[in-house]
């Protein structure tokens, strides 16, 4: 039995048992499988990559091959308790619209992303004058799939402007550990940020 990636472990603690989950960009299906086993959730994982679709099938989840950049039109309003987007906000074409769609389809949205405001990123730009490359952002500017990078503060500004409410926030380092310091200076010290959100009208699942 492999150990779950710590950010996924944090997310799984936010999920109530026997709920309905939609996992956007479900990868190899690890998270959804874990939630099925430990939280008895039902739902689907959406994935675009053919190899990951096969891995998700092997993981025993209900995987749907589709491109979340095309929106979540097949899904009805508030038809899931949670819509999850882990480490993929920065690769989608329209993050603002996708967040909106997530909170239309789900009562609660869970988002994780690499924090571009981390001090190492800031140093690389400020001192070296180079685009940041780090453990959480390993690619160079010209071959990165990350086209919409943001900082913790950027993200929170967007949420405020859109009227989304934050229910939980946690920042962790690249090994997915949190600390007391990070809690007080998340935008400077957090490498990965995790949020649970609701829309203006949405209420979190009971």
Partner 1 sequence: MPPLDPPEPLTQTSPFPSDSVGLVAPQRMAFDIPLELEGGKRLDAYDLVYETYGTLNADRSNAILVCHALSGDHHAAGYHRPEDRKPGWWDVCIGPGKPFDTRKFFVVSLNNLGGCKGSTGPTSTNPATGKAYGPDFPIVTVGDWVNSQRRLGERLGIRQWAAVAGGSLGGMQVMQWSIHHSECVRHALVIAATPKLSAQNIAFNEVARQAILSDPDFHDGRYDEYGVVPRRGLMLARMLGHITYLSEDAMRERFGRELREGRIQFGFDVEFQVESYLRHQGTSFVDRFDANTYLLMTKALDYFDPAQEFGGNLAQAFATSQSQFLVVSFTSDWRFSSARSREIVNALMEVRKPVCYADIRSTQGHDDFLMPNPDYLHVLQAYMQRVAVEIGA
Which residues of this chain interact with partner 1, rule CB under 8 A? 20, 42, 44, 50, 53-54, 56-58, 60, 62-66, 74-76
Cα–Cα distance for residue pair 118/203, rounded to 1 Å: 31
Q: Which is nearer to partner 1, 28 or 156 (CB)?
A: 28
Q: Which is nearer to partner 1, 33 or 176 (CB)?
A: 33
Cα–Cα distance for residue pair 203/106, rounded to 1 Å: 10
Q: Which is nearer to partner 1, 50 or 138 (CB)?
A: 50
Cα–Cα distance for residue pair 163/132, rounded to 1 Å: 31
DSSP letter at 128 equals I
Tell me how far, at minimum, the Cβ of 63 lies from partner 1, in Å.
5
Q: Which is nearer to partner 1, 74 or 163 (CB)?
A: 74
Give me 42's structure tokens: 């039902």
Tell me how far, at minimum, the Cβ of 197 lies from partner 1, in Å.
23
Token pair 């649970």 in the structure block, residue: 196
Tell me how far, at minimum, the Cβ of 79 lies from partner 1, in Å.
8
Tell me how far, at minimum, the Cβ of 145 lies from partner 1, in Å.
18
CB atoms inside a 10 Å sphere around CB 81 = 21
Tell me the three state secondary structure of residue 43. Answer: strand
Which residues on adjacent β-strands are paired with residue 35?
none
């Amino acid at each position: 039995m492999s150990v779950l990636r710590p950010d996924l472990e944090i997310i799984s603690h936010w999920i109530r048992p026997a709920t309905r989950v939609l996992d956007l960009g479900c990868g190899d299906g690890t998270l959804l499988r874990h939630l099925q086993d430990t939280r008895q959730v039902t739902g689907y994982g959406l994935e675009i990559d053919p190899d990951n679709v096969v891995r998700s099938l092997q993981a025993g989840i209900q995987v749907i091959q589709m491109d979340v950049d095309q929106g979540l039109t097949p899904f009805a309003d508030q038809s899931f308790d949670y819509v999850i987007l882990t480490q993929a906000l920065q690769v989608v074409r329209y993050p603002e619209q996708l967040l909106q769609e997530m909170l239309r389809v789900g009562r609660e949205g869970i988002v994780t992303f690499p924090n571009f405001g981390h001090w190492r990123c800031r140093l690389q730009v400020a001192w070296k004058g180079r685009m940041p490359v780090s453990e959480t952002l390993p690619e160079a500017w010209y071959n990165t799939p990350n086209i919409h990078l943001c900082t913790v503060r950027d993200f929170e500004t967007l949420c405020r402007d859109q009227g989304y409410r934050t229910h939980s926030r946690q920042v962790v380092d690249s090994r997915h550990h949190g600390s007391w310091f990070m809690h007080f200076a998340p935008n400077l010290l957090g490498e990965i940020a995790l949020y649970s959100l609701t829309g203006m009208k949405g209420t979190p699942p009971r």
